[in-house]
Amino acid sequence: MQTNNKQDILPISETLFIPLAARASEIKRDNPIIIDDKSVEIISSIDTSNMVIDGGEISTLGILSRTKVIDEEVNCILEKFPESIIINLGAGLDTRICRLDNGILNWYDLDLPEVISIRRRFFTENDRIHFISKSVLDKSWVNEIDIKESSNIIIIAEGLLMYFTEKEVTLILDILSNRFPEAHMFFDVLHSFFINKKISSTFLWGIDHAIDIEKLNDKAKLIQSWSTGNLLKERQSLFFRLFNFLSFTRNRSQILHLKFEKNDA
């Protein structure tokens, strides 16, 4: 039976159906970027008739790029530190736990309460997989993470920070860097060209160059960045391939890997 999950959530949370649909739709392709049976199962049980679930070619490729890069990068860290703690901010109906669970990691999915209640219909909490029903801007959420001094921490924020103002992004980075020194963080960021324009959503924050992120937090060190214009090129239309020489087209969305430096003693 299909259920309508849209009625109780804020417009910002409705954006969670776009990445869900992008991942699920790959199953129909000859050369899928990912095979995500869980997203297919979820989307087929939701009545999406009155929802925007297709963000267009560029949004879909950006979502698939970040899914692939973050899956691979987190997996690499998990090979070295299999008992890592993963904190997934703005989790929505993200399915990464189904792909990366190694049986010993600890995983926290955080989102607004009404979204976590939708998440509970499709995912189950256990002694290693936890849900946090709070805004990322409410710094009390950090107290729900059970950390030990030796814990290796990986923070993921996919499709999230562009919905906040620069002041709010700075607050989030402050919360993270103070509470989780030495944590790795993976997230996507838009080019500032796309700010305050009505695209698939209205975005409030972006940066021109990946290194600019260090200006927002003095403990944040950029480890690596990926421009989505350079990823999945075989799937990009001729128009985008031609215009990738422009920095705002090539860097329309970038995936960043940061590491927070230790707090001063």
Q: Which residues bind ligand SAM (CB under 6 A)?
A: 12-13, 15-16, 19-20, 90-92, 94, 110-112, 115, 135-137, 158-160, 163
Contact 70, 25 (CB under 8 A): no
Which CB atom, from 160 or from 244, has the smaller least distance to ligand SAM?
160
In the bound state with ligand SAM, the residue whose beta carbon lies nearer, of 12 and 232, is 12
Place of tokens 């421009």: 227
Cα-Cα-Cα-Cα dihedral sign, residues 171, 163, 42, 257: negative
CB of 188 to ligand SAM, least distance (A): 9
DSSP characters for 135-164?
Answer: -TTSGGGGGGS---TT--EEEEE-S-GGGS
Q: How far is the CB of 46 from ligand SAM (least distance, A)?
A: 14
- Residue 70 CB, shortest distance to ligand SAM, in Å, is 9
Closer to ligand SAM by CB, 73 or 94: give it: 94
Report d(CA 173, CA 151) in Å as an integer. Answer: 19
Query: Could you give the count of Cα atoms lying within 13 Å of 135 in the half-sphere of its Cβ?
Result: 10
Complex with ligand SAM: residue 92 or 206, whichever CB lies closer: 92
CB of 55 to ligand SAM, least distance (A): 9
